[in-house]
A and B are shown apart, each in its own frame.
Chain A
Amino acid sequence: MESILGQAKKVAEEAEVFTISSEETPVRFEANRLKHIQGKRSNSVALRIVRQGKIGYAITTGLDSSQKLVDNAVETAQFGMTAKFEFPPLTAYPQVEAYDPDVESVSLEKMIELGEKLIAMIKGHTADIVCEAVVTRGVVSVRIINSRGGQANYRKSIFSLGIEGTLIRDTDMLFVGESENSCHPLLEPKVVAEPVLQQLELARNRASAPSQSLPIVFTPNGVASALIPPLMAAFNGKVVLQGASPIGNRLGQPVFDEKLWLWDDPTIAYRPGSRPCDDEGIPSQRTPLVEQGTVANFLYDLQTAALAHTRSTGNSSRSRGGLPTPSPSAFVIAPGKASFDEMVGDIKEGLVIEQLMGATQGNILGGDFGGNVLLGYKVESGKIVGRVKDTMVSGNVYQILKQITAIGSEAKWVGGFLQIPPLYCPSVSVASK
C-alpha cells in the first residue's frame, strides 16, 4: 500500500489508497438439506488521486502491477470532477466495537448443526414446508492511508443466520422468512425460528382485503421493504445537492409526524453497520436526521459536503467498488409507546404488512412506494384473521409519515442495518382482486 501511495505521489498532488479484504464462509441448506459450503476470499485496492486539481480513480483485485493502477487513475483524472476537499490528516477515532474473535472460531460443524436445528424447528411446526437456510461467518479488514498522513484501519466480524420457507398447497404459495445479523456469533436458532413460526400461525387462514383506503400497521420488516428506501434517497446529501430530494430545502422544517425521530448511527457496539470511521477515514458519528418530525440533517461524504458548503457526516461508502458516495450506516427510528397488540387491537378493518414485494420499483425519489403484499394479514375488529393475497398497497411516504397514528414500542433490527419499530398508519390505498 505504501509503495502505491509513493508511486502515486510522484504524479499527483494528493493520493489515497483504500484496501478491503474479506473472508466469508456461507453454509447453505436447500430443500431442508445441507447443500453447499463455500469459502470466499477477496481483496481489492482502490487508488484515488487528485491530479491538476481533478479526481482520478482506479481499482484492482490486487494482482495487477501497482504502476498499472496508477496509470489508470491518471487517465481518469483528465476527466474527473474538480476536487473540492482535502484528505483527512491523522485523526483520533472513537472506540467502536465491531470485531469479536469468537466469530472466526465457530467451526463448520457447529454452523451445520445450527442450520439443521433451525430447519428442524420450522419443520416441527409445519411438516411439509421447504426451507432454504444460510449460516455465514465472515471477517472484513479495511485500511486507508493518504498523502496527508491520515491512516485508519479496522477489522469487523459478521455472523448471520437466515431462513426462507416455502409452503405450497395446490397453486397457492406462502413465503415466510427471517434473518438476523451480528458481529457476535449467533448460536441460538430460536431468534430466527420464532418469528417464522409466528408468521406461519398468522398465515394459516386466508382473508380478503377490499379495494379502498385502510389503516395499516407496517411491521419492522414491512417498514424496511416499503418506507425506508425512499427515505434513504431523500437524506442522501448528493440527492439534496442535485435538487432531487423532496425534503432538500426543508431543513429545520416539520415534514413528518412529530412522533417521528430518525438518526444514522455507525457507533452502536457489535452491529454489522458499525465502524470507527467511514470509507474516507472520517470518524464515525451519530447524525440526527429527523427530530420530532423536523428535518435535522442530511448525510455527506467529503466531496459532497464541500460542494454543499458543509462538513462530512462520516457517511462515505464505496459499496460497489466505485468512488466514495454518501450512504447511511444504520438507520434507527426511535420506538414509541404502543405495543403491537394495542395497534392491531385498535383497527376495525385494516391490514398488517410484513413484506411488500417490489415496493421500490416506482418513483422512489418522489417518495412513492407500491407493491404486491407478499406477506400480510387482514385485521377485523382488532384481530388478525388471516393472510391476504393478490393485493396491492400503494402510497407516498411523505403523505403517510405526515400523520402516524402510533409508533410501536417493539423495535427490531432488520438486515443488520436498520433498527425500526412497527408503524401504524391511518389510511393507505389498497387494491385487490
Chain B
Amino acid sequence: MPHIEVVTHQLAEALNQNSADYIEARLEESQSSYITYRGRELESIGRTTAMGGNIRALVKGGWGFVSFDNLDELPSKVELAVKQARLVGKEESKLAAVEPVVDTVPAKIDKNPVAMPLAEKKQLLDEYNDVIWHTPKLQTSVISYGDSHKKVIFLSSSGSHIEQERADITLRLTAVATEGSEVQQAGLSLGSRGDFSLIQGLRQQVEQMAQHAVELLSAPQVRGGEYTVVLDPVLAGVFVHEAFGHLSESDFVCENDRLRQIMTLGKKFGSSELNIVDSAAIPGLRGSYKYDDEGVPAAKTYLIREGRLAGRLHSRETAAKMKERPTGNARAINYHYPPIVRMTNTYIEPKSASFADIIGDIKEGIYAKNWYGGMTSMEMFTFSAGEAYMIRHGRLAEALRPVVLTGNVFTTLENIDAIGNDLEMNQGGGCGKGEQMPLPVSNGSPHIRICHCLIGGK
C-alpha cells in the first residue's frame, strides 16, 4: 500500500512533463472518528480512513479536474486533467503570480484527537448526556461528535511543494423537550482546531441549553414585523458571515459586470464604526491555516473598513481577473473537490459599547442569541437564533420561541447602530457553498444592535 509521500516525486515529474499553462496536485491522507448519541443510547460510533488525491490543470482559461481514491497510474490522470482543460479552454489563462513555496507545516497540537481512545471521548459525551437527561420534561437528546486529522501535500508545476497537517473537532448537542404534540429543541455547537480540552468542562453550558429547551414549551411566538434587534456575539458572527462574508467571495463578483459596478472598493455599506475582517492568519481557530489549497499564504483582509468596502476574498484566478492581490482564500473540503473562494475566520472588530449601553434605550426590541443556521442569496439573507428574549424598557424580559431574522445586505449593515466591546469567536459553525460542506470556519463579533430588522412570526 503506497503512502502519499511515496508517489510525490513521480507526480511532481508528471506535472512538469505536461504542456498545460498550470497544473497542481493535492494528495491527502485522513483519519477520522465519530460518535453519535440519540437519546440515552449510543447510536453510532465509527472510524474512517481515506486516502486519495486530485489533479487540476489549466489550459487557456479552462480547467480540468480529476479526483481519485487510487494512487495508481498518476501520470495518466495528469494527462486526463490536461485533456479536459484543453476541451474547455478558449481564452487566456489568468492566475495571480505567487512565489513558489517549499514548506512543511505540522498540526501544532499536543495530542491528535483521532488517536485518542474512543473510550475517553465517549466518557465526555456520557457526562454531557447525563446533564441533559437530568433536566425535567426533557424528551430526548442528540449528540454528535466528530474529529479528523489530515495531511495534505500540495504540488504545483511552478515548483511549490507544501505539506500541511491539520486537526479538527466538532461537537453538536441538541436537547428536545415535548409536551403533548408540542416539540421544542435547543442546541449548542462547539468546535476547535483539534484541541480536545476546548470542548471539555462545559457542563454548565449544556445544562442551560437543556433547560432552555424546556422553557421554550411555554414561550410565546413573536409577532412578525420590524424590530430593533440585539445580537449576541455568536449570532452576530453568523450574521456577518451570511450578510456580508459571502458577498465578499469574489468568484461570484468577478464574472458579473453589474455586480462589479455595485461592489466597487470604497462603496459605503455601514457606519464609520464598522470593520469586518476575514483572516486565516490568526493561529489556532478552525478557519486558520498557513497556506490555502492553491499554496497561497494566508492573509488578514479587511472586507469593510470604517464602513466602506475595503477588500474581498480571492483565489489566484479571481485576483488576476480583478487585478487585485491574492488573499489565500481558495479552499476545498477534501480531495474530491477543486478549491473555490471561501471564508476562514470572519469577524466584526470590537468597539466601545457595553451590553448595558446597547440595550439601555430600547423600549421594545428583541435580544437574539445563539445559532440555528443561516443562508444567503448575496443580496438577501436569513439567519436564525436558537434563543430569543423580548427587550422591554431597556431590560431583558420573557423568553420567545426561536426567531428567524432576515435582511438585505444593502440596507441592514447600515442599520447597525451600536457595536459592543466584547468580541468572541464561535468555533461551532460549518459553512456550505455549492456542493462543498461543511467547511471548518469560525465567525465572531461583539454584541451588535440592528434597527429595523425584519423578523418572521405569527
A residues with CB within 8 A of B: 30-31, 34-44, 55, 57-65, 68, 72, 75-76, 78-81, 108-109, 112, 128, 130, 166, 168-173, 175, 211, 238, 242-247, 250, 321-323, 357-358, 360-363, 365-368, 370-372, 374, 389-390, 392-394, 398, 429-433
Among A128, A242, A394, the residue within 8 A (CB) of B140 is: A242
Q: How far is the CB of B281 from chain A (nearest CB, A)?
A: 28
Cα distance, A171 to B309, chains bound together (Å): 15
Q: Does B122 lie at the interface of the complex (its beta carbon under 8 Å from any beta carbon of A)?
A: yes
Residues of the A chain whose Cβ atoms lie less than 8 Å from the Cβ of B65: 36-40
Residues of the B chain whose Cβ atoms lie less than 8 Å from the Cβ of A43: 69-70
**Stretch with Cβ within 8 A of A (4 or more), from B9-17, B294-302, B368-376:** B368-376
CB closest residue in chain B, given A320:
B34
Cα distance, A38 to B339, chains bound together (Å): 13
| Contact across chains for A37 and B69 when beta carbons are under 8 A apart | no
| Contact across chains for B255 and A31 when beta carbons are under 8 A apart | yes
Q: Does B62 lie at the interface of the complex (its beta carbon under 8 Å from any beta carbon of A)?
A: yes
| Contact across chains for A64 and B49 when beta carbons are under 8 A apart | yes
Q: How far is the CB of B20 from chain A (nearest CB, A)?
A: 13
Residues of the B chain whose Cβ atoms lie less than 8 Å from the Cβ of A30: 255
Most buried by A among B41, B48, B139, B140: B48
Among B44, B122, B256, B376, the residue within 8 A (CB) of A81 is: B44
Residues of the B chain whose Cβ atoms lie less than 8 Å from the Cβ of A55: 44
| Contact across chains for A35 and B88 when beta carbons are under 8 A apart | yes
| Contact across chains for A431 and B225 when beta carbons are under 8 A apart | yes
Known: A37-B87, A60-B48, A372-B406. A431 touches B456 (CB 8 A): yes
| Contact across chains for B69 and A79 when beta carbons are under 8 A apart | no
CB closest residue in chain B, given A27:
B88
Cα distance, A321 to B71, chains bound together (Å): 21
Cα distance, A68 to B244, chains bound together (Å): 45
| Contact across chains for A57 and B44 when beta carbons are under 8 A apart | yes
Among A75, A244, A323, A360, the residue within 8 A (CB) of B118 is: A75
In B29-77, the 8 Å CB interface with A consists of 34-36, 38-39, 41-52, 62-71
| Contact across chains for A358 and B184 when beta carbons are under 8 A apart | no
B residues with CB within 8 A of A: 1, 34-36, 38-39, 41-52, 62-71, 80-81, 84-85, 87-88, 90, 118-119, 122, 139-140, 176, 178, 181-185, 224-226, 255-256, 258-259, 262, 336, 338, 372-384, 401-402, 404, 406, 408, 410, 452, 454-458
Residues of the A chain whose Cβ atoms lie less than 8 Å from the Cβ of B380: 173, 357, 372, 374, 389-390
CB closest residue in chain B, given A174:
B379
Q: Please report whether the interface of chain A is mostly helix, strand, loop or mixed according to DSSP.
A: mixed
A-B contact pairs, 20 of them (CB 8 A): A36-B63, A36-B338, A38-B64, A39-B64, A59-B48, A61-B69, A109-B87, A128-B258, A168-B256, A243-B178, A244-B140, A245-B183, A358-B384, A361-B372, A363-B183, A366-B184, A371-B375, A372-B382, A390-B380, A392-B455
Residues of the A chain whose Cβ atoms lie less than 8 Å from the Cβ of B41: 81
Cα distance, A423 to B331, chains bound together (Å): 40
| Contact across chains for A57 and B46 when beta carbons are under 8 A apart | yes
Q: How far is the CB of B388 from chain A (nearest CB, A)?
A: 11
| Contact across chains for B70 and A361 when beta carbons are under 8 A apart | no
Q: How far is the CB of A115 from chain B (nearest CB, A)?
A: 11
| Contact across chains for B373 and A58 when beta carbons are under 8 A apart | no
Residues of the B chain whose Cβ atoms lie less than 8 Å from the Cβ of A72: 46-47, 49
Known: A35-B62, A238-B38. A172 touches B67 (CB 8 A): no
| Contact across chains for A63 and B38 when beta carbons are under 8 A apart | no
Cα distance, A75 to B46, chains bound together (Å): 9
| Contact across chains for B402 and A60 when beta carbons are under 8 A apart | no
Residues of the B chain whose Cβ atoms lie less than 8 Å from the Cβ of A172: 379
Known: A79-B42, A358-B375, A372-B380. A39 touches B259 (CB 8 A): no
Known: A37-B87, A58-B47, A361-B375. A243 touches B255 (CB 8 A): no
CB closest residue in chain B, given A30:
B255
| Contact across chains for A31 and B44 when beta carbons are under 8 A apart | no
